[in-house]
Structure 1
Amino acid sequence: MKLNIKDFLRILVDLVLGLLIFYAVFQTASFLANNYLYNFPEIRNYVWMMRRNFGTDSFKIPIILLATGLFIAWTIVRIRKYMEQKQMEQIISELHYIAKGNFHHKISIRPNGSLGNVVDSIHALVQSTLDAMEEERRLEQSKDELVTNVSHDLRTPLTSIIGYLGLIEQKKYRDEEQVKQYTHIAYEKAKQMNVLVNDLFEYTKMRNRGAHVNKVKFDLVELVEQVAVGFRVAAHEVDLVMRVETPDHKIEMVGDTDKLVRVLENLISNALKYGRDGTEIVIRLFLHEEGVVISVANNGRQIPAEALPNLFDRFYRVEGSRSQETGGSGLGLAIAKSIIDLHQGSMIVDSNKEWTTFTVWLPIKITHSS
């Protein structure tokens, strides 16, 4: 921080005033010494000794030394106080600048001591405010995207339902067989809407801070094997071999079995849906780093590398279309990821020319209530 001429003049005036004050104190001390202290024999003898050694005939030397020391200390304190005052003025000025909306501005000075800690705290507060604003902006954008995506996904089947039911209402059909065809199409579209609404409800419930885990103790090996059995027929129908590799012993853990079953069902159904051009699906379960790993892999079509970071985003579909036939609601993996987060675990995906693998890590015990 640079000082201008005005600052130097103010410091000079302070020093001059200090000199005048200390001169008055010095003269007062000399007067008291000459008129009162000399009445004490011990002090008078000490003064005579000082006269012989320093050639002075008054009791001024110790007073001069004391006054000089006090003046130097006072000068240092005054200059330091003045510098702190200037620093505080600059900090306040920059705070006003930040308060006008310039939240990315950093205070240009960082004094030593407690004032420096104040500057650090201000920077931390401003950064937390920026983070909160960014999070709020992201949430608002997320809400807008949610409304847009839901509207799009609901409008498509709803248009078909209204269209076919309208044809029936207006009697624009050849015979009863065509009426059955129209009602069947409307029914299938209504089921698609029901899937989307249910998935949307489940997703919002999972993302809600009030969502919790109904913790029970269970055998994960048995759970995985039971879920896998339910898909063997579906795998056989599309000529896929399903292999389940689990330990020979139990793996007892604590978690919400209903939610974990939904995760497994989503991963296996996705493997069936997108791995049809492969030959097998492999489900593995093993202990790893104070937790347990569940992986679901298929050797079907590779997921493009650019799509991997977005797989767990809601309404994201790899094929880039919004076809309900293959894309579902686009919420399955987002729901699964939310469930794993509730269980304090993690979920990742890897895809290459040989295998596409979804890997879930879960702790054996949840450390706190979710």
Structure 2
Amino acid sequence: MKRSLIVLFVALSVALCGTAFAMEAIPAEKINCGFVYIGPVGDGGWTYMHDQGRLEMESAFPGLKSSYVESVPEGPDSARVMETFVRNGSKVIFATSFGYMDFVQDVAKRYPDVVFMHCSGYKRADNVGIYFGRMYQARYLSGLVAGKMTKNNVIGFVAAHPIPEVIRGINAFTQGVRKANPEAEVKVVWLFSWFDPGKEKEATKALIDSGADVISMHADSGAAPQTAEEAGVYVVGYNNDMSQYAPTKHLTAPIWDWGIVYKRVIEQVTMGTWKSEDIWWGLKEGMVGLSKYGKDVPEEVKKLVEEEKTRIISGEWDVFDGPIKDQSGTIKVEAGQSLSDGDKLSMNWFVEGVKGDIPK
């Protein structure tokens, strides 16, 4: 679905970008945006939040119309959907999943006057931009909460796919957990799926059975929070405020605000200033953040979160500043050093405190 990079890809992206894309201003009422969604709008998570961003975008530009197709597989079907949008007059298309990347490139070559924005990829072109958010920052903050709330010092993590984006999130979450509670560990169970409520439920049960008294997640439905609620176990959601699924046990959730990007892109298109770029915004820009706290989160925990959030936003410190050790205890980031964005985006190792393997 989302972001998987190696440092080489940065150079590839620049090479693909080519010369500057020149466009004339397009009135909002003639843009007719198209959105390609990986899941159902009602998933309560990833796709739901993209659709909330779409609606926010529409409300900001009188006359702007948009449409979407949901549950589009990461394959040739996505190209057909984009082709249909173009034939129906779309001048801007947002593809919201990592696996659409090569299909975006192929369709964009055929329609050089259409703007394409791909979420979480690494390939750009004259008329293709990419966008994502520094969710690892919000993951870290949520880890602080989880670390303070566990009694067993065992936190479970329901993880989608073993790609750098998910690994980076687990590591950032664990960094927060260990900052708050150096004795705690994070156990990982892989789903090999973005959206599978049945698997998410079973993975949550397995983690609870193994001793986890707090659950976190990188999955797209509310199944994990719902299962945690039924078991009387605290949960940290993802994508959206998932307290509706766990009204008494939801602690907080790292959440997205996609509308910030969607409004910026449309503004640029209406002004004729759009150009291909790689957007990767975080807490400072408001693209990621935390949902409201559950009733059981103490004030001193909220204070800790705010202090760490201030450090990140100010630029004083970031989540992957050293020293950082990996699972074996080997220093991966020395004190006084920081992981580059390329290293963050290609992350394929776990930090100290994570219990689990990364499948090959």
Q: Do both proteins adopt the same fold according to a TM-score greater than 0.5, normalized to the shorter chain?
A: no
Higher share in strand: 2
Please identify the structure whose Cα radius of gyration is greater.
1
TM-score bracket, normalised by the shorter chain, equals under 0.3
Structure number with greater CO (CA < 8 Å, separation at least 6) is 2
Using the size of structure 1 for normalisation, the TM-score is 0.20
Identify the structure with the greater helix proportion: 1
Q: Which TM-score applies when normalising by structure 2? A: 0.21
